[in-house]
Structure 1
Amino acid sequence: MATSEDKIKIASSFLKAAPPDVRVLVGDDELLEGGILAALEEYNTEELATVEVPGIDGKVIVSKTGQVDADRFLDPKTSQVFSVDHFRQTASEPEAHERDEEIEELRNTIEADTEIYSADRYAEGVSAVYGSKGVITIAIVHNRYSPSNFWNGRWRSVWTLDTATSEVKGTLKCKVHYYEDGNVQLETSKDIVDKLSKNAEHPHKVVSKALIDLISAAETKYQTALNESYHELAENTFNGLRRALPYTRTKIDWSKILTYRIGAELAAK
């Protein structure tokens, strides 16, 4: 019989690889108290979970970049920190937080352009722009849930700009879960390293536009490549795995398998 420690390890591994909306996977208080909350915290910060904070309009991202201490996170738009219940994905106790004034003007400019970009590209996207010690970090997350069509998905991208070197790094991640008559999950990611054409000596608006243009081009290229891969997968790869059967575009009714020719042949054998 598995011990509580074994159950925690197993549940934690499932949580870290789980699709969006994982709260229902854990209903055991013993597991929660024994260590699952640490896995939930890691999941929420890695997946850029979004929460509603009292007194703040719109949803706010929970990320490692914005983590102030064990369970408190920063909303850079309002410069407030808040507590997070990682199990229920709820937030509370917002309070003011000091800004990094040295980089705040540039951060504000990039934040405004990022919000425009995110709203234009991602219908339900949420973004956050952090600034600290000469580094600007942009986080974008877009969740789509379609239970009537048996799928849900999440797009995440995190970009950093080192204002001293103009180096830009990005990590793009896409996760899709499809569960009609089965259980299929796709998770893919891409890391990007580039150099911004403008540096900190240029006006902030110029730097911000160059950064958003770079992000837009990279995300468009990656998403186009994903679409082409899906098309190749559906049209060729999966077909190559199938046995040679009549192409009818209809599902086999297994309760009537003997009425099909192949079923009759199998029965004869």
Structure 2
Amino acid sequence: MTKRLITPQSEKVFFFLNACLLLESSLNSLFHKQASPLPDHLSLSYFPFEHFICLFFFSLRSLLFCRSRKKVMAEEGTELSDKQKKEIAKWFLLNAPAGEIQYVAKDLKSVLNNDDVYDEAASEAFPVYNKSHMICLEMPGRFGDVLVTSYGELQGNEYLDPKTAQVAIVDHVKQVCTEVRPATDEELPTPYVEEYRCALEAELLKYVGEAYPKGSCSVYCINGKDVEGPGYDFELVAVISAARLSPQNFCTGSWRSIWNIECKDDIQVLELKGKLQVGAHYFEEGNVQLDAKHECRDSTMFQSPDDSAIAIASLIRHHETEYLASLEVVFNVWLISIPCASYRYLLTVEA
């Protein structure tokens, strides 16, 4: 007799295992043209969970063949075009875990065995990856670090660092900053807006220094940077990026948060919209990835630059601490719920 071991405490673990088995079945179907039968209690209806976890069952080479097989399944033996190879390569680069794109790129280059296809894929994928992961690069000349984000992007491969009023020229594929130049007056906000921006950045630097040992932050003005004084609205965006990369211990992790702050002078309100994203990758015995996302809103009074900065930083600290605590609760439930080394044992037990 077989019965399910699904309890409220192990529900999220069950979701995780469903994802693993469904992915395994879908990948098998690409090779054999017919999906492997799934247990009756497994279905796509078990996917309304917030924290999406994906377990890859194949090596990079197998996965590359797997995705290409899907595109040419109806034409067995057909050689992939260079365009198809480029799109597949871009997919792998864009979906590389935090801090691991160079490892993926090295394997892809070997698998493709075509420098032209690889170079084209890399030139398109690396800028998108670097901006989405908000990587932090050291600027030459002891100017400090610059965050590569879409909010600081100027033209070409130039990125503004608001803290130092410098513009960094970035080599995306090598992930290095090659040159630095001073920002022009047109690229910077007015003194009135800069006072608010600078005050908020100072408060965030204190918070990030306490909360994220290897974190960085920047505050940009994305709307109304020409505002000269009170009576007009403007918008700031604060970004926080932190990564802990430990490939020698088979794990990497990242934290990214984006906070849009609308400064509404007419109603004296600051409206905050936050987007938080946490990524983790563990690959010692298997290959497990976590991609968790969360959005939140809040508001506070529009005050002086210093008072507004303190209020905004306090709200950001509150929401990020609260979300991190909720993730820790989920992980603790998983640890308590796993009774043995075999994941599949969680689904059924012989009575």
| Residues 74-113 of structure 1 mapped to structure 2, 5 A cutoff | 74-97=160-183, 98=185, 99-101=188-190, 102-113=192-203
Q: Shift of the alpha carbon at 1:175?
A: 0.5
Of residues 116, 122, 138, the one that matches 1:30 is 116
| Residues 136-147 of structure 1 mapped to structure 2, 5 A cutoff | 136-147=236-247
Aligned to 1:256: none
**2-side partners of 1:77 and 1:68: how far apart?**
16
Q: Is the 8 A contact 1:136 1:160 kept in 2?
A: yes
Q: Shift of the alpha carbon at 1:120?
A: 0.6
**2-side partners of 1:64 and 1:169: how far apart?**
17
Q: Shift of the alpha carbon at 1:176?
A: 0.4
Q: Give, as a single letter, the amino acid of the residue that structure 1 aligns with 2:311.
A: A
Q: Shift of the alpha carbon at 1:93?
A: 2.1
**2-side partners of 1:16 and 1:54: how far apart?**
27
Aligned to 2:257: 157
**1-side partners of 2:336 and 2:182: how far apart?**
54
Instruction: Give CA deviations for 1:143-162 in whole Å, capped at 9, x if unaligned.
Output: 11223321011111111111
Instruction: Give CA deviations for 1:5-29 in whole Å, capped at 9, x if unaligned.
Output: 1111111111222112211322433
Which SS does the other structure have where 2:90 is aligned? helix
**2-side partners of 1:34 and 1:155: how far apart?**
29
Aligned to 1:183: 287
Q: Give, as a single letter, the amino acid of the residue that structure 1 aligns with 2:216.
A: V
TM-score by length of 1: 0.84
Task: State the percentage of identical aligned residues.
Answer: 30
Counterpart check, 1:243 vs 2:345: yes
Instruction: Give CA deviations for 1:174-232 in whole Å, capped at 9, x if unaligned.
Output: 1001010211111111111222x211xx2111100110010000000100000001111
Structure 2: give runs of 5+ residues left out of the alignment: 1-78, 110-114, 225-233, 347-351
**2-side partners of 1:113 and 1:213: how far apart?**
9
Which SS does the other structure have where 2:294 is aligned? strand
Of residues 93, 113, 136, the one that matches 1:50 is 136
**1-side partners of 2:245 and 2:257: how far apart?**
18
TM-score by length of 2: 0.65
Aligned to 1:198: 301
**1-side partners of 2:284 and 2:331: how far apart?**
18
**1-side partners of 2:309 and 2:257: how far apart?**
17
Q: Is the 8 A contact 2:134 2:149 kept in 1?
A: yes
**2-side partners of 1:41 and 1:221: how far apart?**
32
Which SS does the other structure have where 1:69 is aligned? coil
Which SS does the other structure have where 2:201 is aligned? helix
- Select the structure with the greater relative contact order (CA < 8 A; seq sep ≥ 6): 2
Q: Give, as a single letter, the amino acid of the residue that structure 2 aligns with 1:198.
A: M
C-alpha RMSD over aligned residues: 1.8
